[in-house]
Amino acid sequence: MIQASIITIGDELLIGQVIDTNSPWMSQELNKAGIRVARRVAVGDVWDEIWAALDEEQKYADIILITGGLGPTADDITKPLLCKYFGGNMIVDEGARQNVINIFTKLNRPIIERNLSQAEVPDNCKVIPNKRGTAPGMWFTKPLQTSPVASEVSVNAKKVFVSMPGVPQEMKGMMEDDVVPMLQAAFQCPVIIHKTLLTAGVGESFLADLIKDFEEALPKHIKLAYLPNYGMVRLRLSATGYDGPAIEKEIVQYFETLQSLVKDYLVTNEDEPLEKVVGKLLVAKNKTLCTAESCTGGYIAHLLTSIPGSSEFYDGSVISYSYKAKEDLLQVDHTILESKGAVSEEIVTQMAKAALKNIGSNYVIAVSGIMGPGGGMPDKPVGTVWVALGNEQKIVTQKLFFRFDRIRNIQLTASTALNLLRKFILEG
């Protein structure tokens, strides 16, 4: 099977100032194209270390994809390094030069020398146009060397190195428009099919015991993985082979068996987040949802509205962070707020009822809690949350408790509340 390695270049990755979201996206695209990502390596803006990574990764991979280090500033050394590595000379690429001029003309900004230098490329690479920025991509081909680990199926007597900008939308456009189709034309790639389901309310070990026999009986070309996340566990089956329809048929059967084994905990049999499951459920029933959020501060609304077309099932939210907002926007009872506190069953129930009435949706979720690090009290420690949810006929409440940091407490509150609503709608 064709193997790829992704090299990301930039000190910002190594000092932890930036989270790498490019590599996961690239990995997904390569997988869909039948290319396995064997390794991902991050190195700094250091000549010798980038050079060593280029030497190293071709031992493991047929395709080496490089992102970052192509900007117009002095810490970006990737282009001269690649030029030297492949023994070329720098020339100006007319297409890339015109692209820089077009972009600056469109933005109505003056062009400085530094910008035009973006159009210089090594003369021994194929230039990949950048429709979204000034730095072009570069495609280098190298005859095959003997390799200890890389693909046995080497009908392809070459290694390919592709350098792309690190700016996400530029890299993504380049991958979709040119790089992936060029790789598929250059290599003979198998089919990889993933099937993922999401479970809730059950631990990883229990799941593993539940499906032990199934897992042990899997053929070698089908793999099972456990992906725990936010108190839920995703299970992923991956099948690899050259006969697409046969592989598809086979994995579908295994996937059906797996679903029936975990049916009591199954949230969805698609690789989709919980908020999308809730959204689809609402759309199918032609119902809408609103929220009243205190401690999650809009995070539930953000999850729901991240889904394209969410206005079909989501009406809006009242984020009542202050006491005053709770009283003015959600008509919460002042005396109960004073006597029971904002984090109480009474208040969260009042919030839910008021949101339902004011916004006029079919379903509602309301949350109030203490996310930390401050704000804890002896009887209500950090991590205490009250959830109320339901519809006009019935509001149910639940007390939750999380022991993590602020961001994770917010995320867990949101996913738990959404899953409780999902069950409520299904039982309804």
Q: Site residues for a second copy, window 323-342 (CB under 8 A)? A: 324-325, 328-329
- Sole binder of a second copy in the list 36, 353, 380, 422 (CB under 8 A): 36
Q: Is 13 in the site for a second copy (CB under 8 A)?
A: yes
- The smaller minimum CB distance to a second copy, of residues 26 and 125, is found at 26
Q: Does 14 bind a second copy (CB under 8 A)?
A: yes
Return the range that interacts with a second copy (CB under 8 A); candidates 176-184, 255-263, 272-280, 405-413.
Answer: 405-413
Buried b (16+ CB within 10 A) or exposed e, 177-215: bbbbeebeebbebbbbbbbbbbbbeeeeeebeebbeeee
Residues 228-267 interacting with a second copy (rule: CB under 8 A): 228-229, 234, 236, 238
* Distance (Å, whole) CA 202 – CA 231: 8
Query: Is 266:197 a contact under the CB 8 Å cutoff?
Result: yes
DSSP classification of residue 265? G
Query: Closer CB to a second copy, residue 23 or residue 163?
Result: 23
Alpha carbon of 307 to those of 11, 128, 273, 330: distances in Å? 33, 32, 10, 26
Check the CA dihedral 44-49-50-56 and report its sign.
Answer: negative
**Spatial contact of 122 and 103, defined as CB atoms under 8 Å apart:** no
* Residue number, 138 or 410, with CB nearest to a second copy: 410
Count the site residues for a second copy by CB under 8 A: 112
Q: Is 15 in the site for a second copy (CB under 8 A)?
A: yes
Among 129, 190, 316, 376, binds a second copy (CB under 8 A): 316
- Region from 240-248, 321-329, 332-340, 385-393 binding a second copy, contact rule CB under 8 A: 321-329
Q: Find the binding residues for a second copy in span 286-315 (CB under 8 A).
A: 288, 290-291, 293, 296-302, 304-306, 308-311, 314-315
Query: Is 360 one of the binding residues for a second copy (CB under 8 A)?
Result: yes
Whether the Cβ atoms of residue 5 and residue 40 lie closer than 8 Å to each other:
yes
Measured between alpha carbons, how far is 60 from 186 in angstroms, rounded to an integer?
A: 18
What pairs with residue 170 in β-bridges?
none
Stretch that binds a second copy, among 90-98, 119-127, 176-184, 369-377 (CB under 8 A): 369-377
Q: Which residue has the tokens 């010798």?
A: 48
Site for a second copy in 211-230 (CB under 8 A): 215-216, 223-229
